[in-house]
Structure 1
Amino acid sequence: MENTIFDLMETHDYENILFCQEKTLGLKAIIVIHDTTLGPAAGGIRMWPYQNEQDAIQDAVRLARGMTYKNAAAGLPFGGGKCVIIGDPKKDKTEGLLRAMGRFIHRLNGLFLTGIDVGTTIQDMVLMRMETPYVVTVPESLGGPGNSAVATSFGIFQGIRACLKEVFGNPLPQGRTVAVQGIGAVGDELVKYLLNAGAAVTIADIDQQKVDTLASEYKVNVVPPEKIHTLDVDVYSPCAMGAVLNEHTIPELGCKIVCGSANNQLATEQDGDRLAQRGILYAPDY
């Protein structure tokens, strides 16, 4: 990481990095605005138990920059931004903390539009919405789109179909093998799309309860999280945390295609070259 915050901002053209704290409620968060050339910055709110402040900053800035590219590639009138809350979503999340986060977002007066991400839920967004209208992924009853994971997972499913056509000449998932890493809101829906299309699916997640629940309802194979990327499959679909494609994991990949919903899947720009050298088709996460 660069020596100072301003070095970081200058190197990658960030507009704003805001540090938010509400001591009495235990809130520590970072909001990053990368670029607003096309419109207000849009990106989700992630809650994660980062080991240190530097890790949180690094994640937030990479995610915000990725959102700039995603929104531009999709032709949307938005720039890129992201918010990360430092904390364990299973232990540290409270109504007070979430509403305080909503107040910080409101102070930006629409410069940053946000919604769910890793570690946050649509119910969390409802609480933040009590403090600001700039939280957009809320139920239809509150004027929002409802569960955005359904649309997101369908987009990944269509991306997989496009990759299958490119590699095999046929977009149909029937008879193809897919390894899905991470079965949160998006991964769970993606698995269902794939199964309904006739694919054979293997899953992995650090949350064993999620794995057990999905495996009890659907015909899927289960492997430990550290093994999922090594499987001999047609498609590897990372749908959890980023930087899963790196100098250590790429030589271990057993797939022909990488296509998933995880943000910042490449640990470094050089990892894209490593995938190309191995002849693996990579669908960028934006």
Structure 2
Amino acid sequence: MDLWQHQYEQLLFLQDRSVGLKAIIAIHNTKLGPALGGCRMRHYASDEEAVADAVRLAQGMTYKSAVSGLPYGGGKAVILSMPGQSPREQIFWALGRHIQTLQGRYITGIDLGTAVTDMDWVRLETPYVTDTTGSLGAAGDFTARMTAYGVFLGIRASLKRVYGSDSIQNKAVAVQGLGKVGYQLCRYLKRAGARLIVADMDPLRVKKAADDFGASPRRPQDILAEPCDVFSPCALGGILNDFTLGRLGCRIVAGAANNQLAEVRHGEELHRSGILYAPDYVINAGGIIVTSVELLGGDAALARQHVEKINDTLTHVFRIADAEGISPSAAADRLAEVILKN
């Protein structure tokens, strides 16, 4: 892996042998403001995989902030989950000490595999952390609801682009992944009259969605090929790749997962195949919008107002794509890059 092929301002490799901390912080761009992005903790097959994840996620956060009009750049922290690590509090105390040395260039928060209590431990070592107890990010499921709400609005904008109407009534939506965001998205979709098809690695989550929303369950390996109006990936990234693109049975891809495209070229391939792709960092920006509004002194009502702008942002991206004859993924990247240059 050639580390120099990636565009980023700073890449830090952190290690504290006394507690077993092994982590990476990627700061992609701080032109618009401090790098903002959560900390995820998961098992990686290799250090290279962890670096690639951190760098791609950090770039996504830069673009997400830019197209959403937020005064922040993009960053990401990943903690490599390993056997023999110390208790979690020691891991996150150590991470907090490292973040403090950056003096505000990077602000962390919750992501995959981390929780409010983890951020509380980070807070003991540095003020450059969000999603701690008492914050909007820690207020029940508010961040998940706002992320799901933004995706819901993005689905409506996508339906309008394909069918001429943003009505979700009787539209078939296949939701892959029923974590906090995926489950909340199902709630919004059901209320709007969608026919839900769901899959998750956890059969209990699938059963709950079936019981609560009348969703039709599918096996995880079958959900991509399900004939539907919208395929909504809400699990891990890289789901749109050489193996899966030819299996899709949808007209639209619009979901909450980060980095859905395994490679940039897969956005072009979707476009050529006639499937509308709603760029993930445009429609899943609800979480970072909540964090940004709170950091700037706003409340939940103001955060919701800002999330509602996702519909207009995505519509603008589609218009750029149409006007320039390019894919929506290329249009979103171009919009972000223009903002970053100005």
TM-score, with structure 2 as normaliser = 0.76
Rate the CA distance shift 1:255–1:143 in 2: closer, same or farther, 3 A.
closer
Identity of aligned residues (%): 49
Deviations 1:80-113 (A, max 9, x none): 1111111179x98722212222222222111111
More helix by share: 2
The alignment partner of 1:24 has SS state of coil
AA aligned to 2:62 is T
The Cα of 1:245 is off from its aligned counterpart by 0.4
Partner of 2:48: 54
Out of 4, 7, 11, which is 1:13 matched to? 7
Counterpart of 2:51, as a letter, is I
Residue number in structure 2 paired with 1:253: 248
Match of 1:253, as an amino acid?
L
Report the counterpart of residue 278 of structure 1 in structure 2: 273
Say if 2:106 is the partner of 1:112. yes
Aligned mate of 2:132, from 138, 141, 159: 138
Q: Which is worse superposed, 69-78 or 195-204?
A: 195-204
Residue ranges of structure 1 left out of the alignment (5+ in a row) = none
- 2:66 maps to 72
Do the aligned residues in 2 keep the contact of 1:203 with 1:228 (CA within 8 Å)? yes
Distance 1:142 1:160 in 2: 28
Matches within 5 A, 1:220-239: 220-239=215-234
Mapped contact 1:205–1:225 kept (Cα < 8 A): yes
Task: Say which of 180, 185, 188 aligns to 2:175.
Answer: 180
What secondary structure does 1:46 align onto?
strand
Instruction: Output one character per residue of 1:168-220: Cα deviation in whole Å (capped at 9) or x when no partner.
Output: 11112111111111111211111111111111112222233433444343321
The structure-2 alpha-carbon separation of the partners of 1:231 and 1:93, relative to structure 1 and needing over 3 Å to count, comes to farther
Shift of 1:265: 0.8
1:34 aligns with 2:35: no
Alignment pair present for 1:87 and 2:75: no
Question: Is 1:158 the counterpart of 2:188 in the alignment?
Answer: no
Where does residue 324 of structure 2 map in the other structure? none
> What's the RMSD between the two structures over aligned residues?
2.0
Amino acid at match of 1:219: G
Q: What is the deviation of 1:144?
A: 5.5
Comparing 142-151 with 163-172, which one deviates more in the overlay?
A: 142-151
Residue type of the alignment partner of 1:37: K
Match of 2:19 in 1: 25
Take 1:227 and 1:92, find their aligned partners in 2: how far apart are those partners? 39
TM normalised by structure 1 equals: 0.91
User: Aligned partners of 2:137 and 2:186: how far apart in 1?
Assistant: 25
Closer/same/farther in 2, CA of residues 88 and 23 from structure 1, 3 Å limit: closer
- The 1:144/1:168 distance shift into structure 2, 3 A limit, reads closer
Cα deviation for residue 261 of structure 1 reads 1.2
More displaced 10-residue stretch of structure 1: 18-27 or 173-182:
18-27
CA offset digits 1:101-139 (Å, max 9, x no partner):
222222211111121111122333233223222111234
> Per chain length, whose mean CA-contact separation is higher, i.e. which structure has more relative contact order (CA < 8 Å, sep 6+)?
2
1:98–1:224 distance in 2 versus 1, CA, 3 Å: farther
* Count of aligned positions: 278
Q: Which moved more, 1:16-25 or 1:28-37?
A: 16-25
Matched with 1:198 is 193
1:167 is matched with which residue?
A: 162
1:241 aligns with 2:207: no
Aligned amino acid, residue 58 of structure 1: A
Cα distance change, pair 157–93 in 1 and its aligned pair in 2 (3 A): farther
List per-residue Cα deviations over 1:222-267 (Å, max 9, x = no partner): 2121221111011011111111101110000000000111111111
Distance in 2, matches of 1:88 and 1:149, equals 27
Q: Structure 1 152/54 Cα, relative in aligned 2: closer, same or farther at 3 Å?
A: same
Structure 2 distance, partners of 1:240, 1:145, is: 21
CA separation of 1:166 and 1:142: change in aligned 2, threshold 3 A: closer
Q: C-alpha distance in 2, partners of 1:37/1:93? A: 36
Cα deviation 1:8-28 (Å, max 9, x = unaligned): 3xxx33111111122232221
